[in-house]
Amino acid sequence: MPYVTVENITAQVLEVMAKTPEPRLREITSALVRHLHAFIREVQPSGPEFEKACEFVVGLGQATSDKKNEVILASDILGASTLITLLNDKAQGGPASVDKTDSALLGPFWREGSPAYAAGETIARGAEAQVPGQSLLVTGIVCDTAGEPLAGACVDVWHASPVGLYENQDDAQPDMNLRGRFLTDAQGRFHFRSVRPAGYPVPVDGPCGDLLRAQKRHPYRPAHLHFMVSKPGYRVLVTQMFADDDGRLDTDVTFSVVESLVGHFEKHSEGSDAHFTVCFELVLQPGETQFPQPPIP
């Protein structure tokens, strides 16, 4: 192997990577080296800039806790999470005649083991349930790519409170508040009660917040509900449904608003009697039932 120079270092590293036995790992690490070296050649970071970059990466780990996953948050605000989701959606395809449900990013707040509820029960068990005018009824149907309803599908839902906090971020909320799992009936239907979620800022007390401030970007996400729908023999659907009247649909800090995932939150009555309803159809595609790794405990 010749001595290292600016001109030959990339080729030398790629030669070493080419000996990786596992094909996919070899492909990924080789591509990473090519693009990383090209990036470095383009921006030519100074020594202090490189140190700052390393501090940012180290800080992602240090800022990760049981309340948030800073690494996933960084991927979200850089648009990487949504790009991966969109590319995987496109690769998985499905019959051209099917109006399939688009996926959306998992986000940093999903937790395993949320409570199982009977149809029609409420997942709002904190003080937010007593706030007038915020009641929400969610109804929907889960079907396959042929449009046939799927009985016994698990609909795992979670969302932020009316003040924009998930229960693991808010000591005032009961554990697993605004989270729940429901099974579809023989007609593939599900329904549950909750409160209308608010849009919220992503956590800004770590490196991601520093980056957003440096870029003069706001940290807000539009109001949405998270869904993870599963049934053996079908791919796990991870998606979100956004409120159509939220003013930040086109400026989501995580770049995750797909047009097909915007739902109509219909308001009924006014004042303290006000309540909302929304309905969704969720389509599962056949395939391996593989769940994501929980970003937080």
- Every domain of the chain and the residues it spans: 1-44, 70-283
Rounded Cα–Cα distance for residues 227 and 261 (Å) = 11
pTM, two decimals, is: 0.87
Check residue 139 and give its pLDDT.
97
Check residue 227 and give its pLDDT.
97
AA letter at 270: E
Q: Which helix (H) or strand (E) holds 176?
A: none
The total of other beta-carbon atoms located within 10 Å of residue 255's CB is: 16
CATH code of the domain made up of 70-283: 2.60.130.10
* Residue of 237, 214, 273 whose CA lies nearest to 77: 214
* Residue of 219, 216, 220, 197 whose CA lies nearest to 206: 219
- In order along its 297 residues, the chain shows pLDDT tens digits of 689 999 999 999 999 999 999 999 999 999 999 999 999 999 999 999 999 999 999 999 999 988 788 999 999 999 999 999 999 888 876 554 456 899 998 988 899 999 999 999 999 999 998 888 889 999 999 999 999 999 999 999 999 999 999 998 899 999 999 999 999 999 999 999 999 999 999 999 999 999 999 999 999 999 999 999 999 999 999 999 999 999 999 999 999 999 999 999 999 988 777 899 999 999 999 999 999 988 876
